[in-house]
Amino acid sequence: MPSPVVVFIGAPASGKSKIAKRVASLLDVPRIDTDKVVVAEHGPIADIFDNSGEATFRAYERAAVKDALQHRAIVSLGGGAVLDPDTQKDLTTVPVVLLTVSEEAVASRISDPKRPLLRDGIEAWKKLVAARMPIYSELAWNTFDTSAGDLDAIAEDIVSWISSGTPRQGVSS
């Protein structure tokens, strides 16, 4: 059965979708963004949260993740996808990259109203990241920071790591 080339995890606004797009292009493989899958199938994430609740969104998200992990592709997960125990289990067998970003760098990225858990701004983001970081760190094979620098260069560094056989590097906090 095919499995992902690499899966991107990390906090909201860490650059998972943008980096995944670049890595997929460099490797000439398909890309699956599970948030985009949910939106295509069920509508805007903010609307799902507002009309049906977070639990409904998480169920849609889990289905999208489960399907995405069956493909040879570059996969980017929504920031909270790793909260699901089944997703955590599934991610133990595939290369996982954690994208990190500093509080200072993310401040300008989180004003998007499509991010329902970040409607309270940077304080909500910090609380969310603090709660999720132990899971992110446990799952990650390697970490790359997107706070500064050229996203193309970061993508090239990730491709080099993938090309080297995706050795597990561990994550430093």
User: What's this model's pTM, rounded to 2 decimal places?
Assistant: 0.90
17 appears as a binding residue in the annotation: yes
Quote the CA–CA distance of 147 and 157 in Å, as a whole number.
15
Say if 124 falls within a structural domain: yes
Half-sphere exposure of 84 (CA within 13 A, CB side): 23
Give the amino acid at 145: D
Residue 30 sits in a domain of what CATH number? Answer: 3.40.50.300
Is 14 flagged in the annotation as binding? yes
Does the annotation list 127 as a binding residue?
A: no
State yes or no: 80 annotated in a binding site: no
Q: How far from 134 is each of 4, 15, 131, 154, CA to CA, in Å?
A: 23, 19, 7, 23
106-162 pLDDT per residue, tens: 877 666 556 555 566 778 888 989 999 999 999 999 999 999 889 999 999 999 999
Say if residue 58 carries a ligand binding annotation: yes
Domain-embedded: residue 60: yes
Is 72 annotated in a binding site? The answer is no
Judge whether 170 lies within some domain: no
More confident residue, 173 or 46: 46
pLDDT digits (tens, 9 = 90+) for 10-51: 998 899 999 999 999 999 999 999 999 999 999 999 899 999
- Which residues form the domain of 119? 6-163
Q: Is 152 annotated as a binding residue?
A: no
In a domain, 119, yes or no: yes
